[in-house]
Chain A
Amino acid sequence: MKHTNEMEIRFESRSENEGFARVAVASFMTQLNPTVEEVADVKTAVSEAVTNAIIHGYEDEIHKVSIRCRISENVFTVEVSDKGRGIENVQEAMQPMFTTKPEQDRSGMGFAFMEAFMDSVEVESEPGKGTCVKMTKTVGKGRELWTTRSL
């Protein structure tokens, strides 16, 4: 039987919840027996998506951010969504160094980091309705079981 599991969390778009979101996702992920590196990759990607929801989606107003995680065999999927202002031009927003808030010292590297650390990143957004970032990562890809190798 295929191993699956799912979880969902909803929290207020306060910056102190960024740390909570990373840790919650990372601890749900541990059942896949990931490497330290894989956990760090997912934590960074989640942090970027949640930060985007807080500062761009809701522009520092307090509303709800949702995270949904799914495990299917060794594929980890995480969706971060908000019901905020949405993105006019997703392609433009995903370009490295592109930012609408340079005065706040935003580096414009958020989506670039998500793409670098996850296997796939899909963004669905509608101006005025909100944004959903769906990311997947296959865990334990490069790992060989030592028991299958001859000594």
Chain B
Amino acid sequence: MKYQVQENCLTIYLPREVDHHNAEEIRKEADAVIDRNHIRYVIFDFEKTDFMDSSGIGVIMGRYKTISLIGGEVWAVHTNDRIRKILTLSGVTKIMQIYEEEVV
């Protein structure tokens, strides 16, 4: 899993495809990093992602459950139309902010 920690903020650079196969690894590594670094904000970066199914939704919901206990937040950045459709359809947008880039 590619990630970056800045103070209490963890950015997870998601792979091209987020399915059950690679969700496992993201889940385990993210939890370890969150634990070790007192993370309060988790940012899911979808820059490279063009496929996600409900396993990805599970990853987001699971991280939200952990960090919401300490008043944290989850964010999504660089989402394309397809990813936004999946996020909206799942209802996960109720607990997660989608950062809208400015259209230049």
Interface residues of chain A: helix, strand, loop or mixed (majority) = helix
Residue tally, chain A, CB below 8 Å to B: 24
Residue tally, chain B, CB below 8 Å to A: 20
List which B77-91 residues lie within 8 A (CB) of chain A. 82, 86, 89-90
Interface residues of chain B: helix, strand, loop or mixed (majority) = helix
Residues of B with C-beta under 8 A to A94: none
Number of A-B contacts (CB under 8 A): 64
Q: Using CB atoms and an 8 Å cutoff, list the residues of chain A in contact with chain B.
A: 15-16, 18-19, 22, 37, 40, 43-44, 47-48, 51, 54-55, 104-110, 112-113, 116
A105-B58, A105-B61, A105-B62 are known; give 17 further A-B pairs, CB within 8 A: A19-B19, A19-B21, A37-B82, A43-B51, A47-B19, A51-B19, A51-B55, A55-B20, A105-B27, A105-B59, A106-B55, A107-B55, A113-B54, A113-B86, A113-B89, A113-B90, A116-B89
Q: Using CB atoms and an 8 Å cutoff, list the residues of chain B in contact with chain A.
A: 17, 19-21, 23-24, 27, 51, 53-55, 57-59, 61-62, 82, 86, 89-90
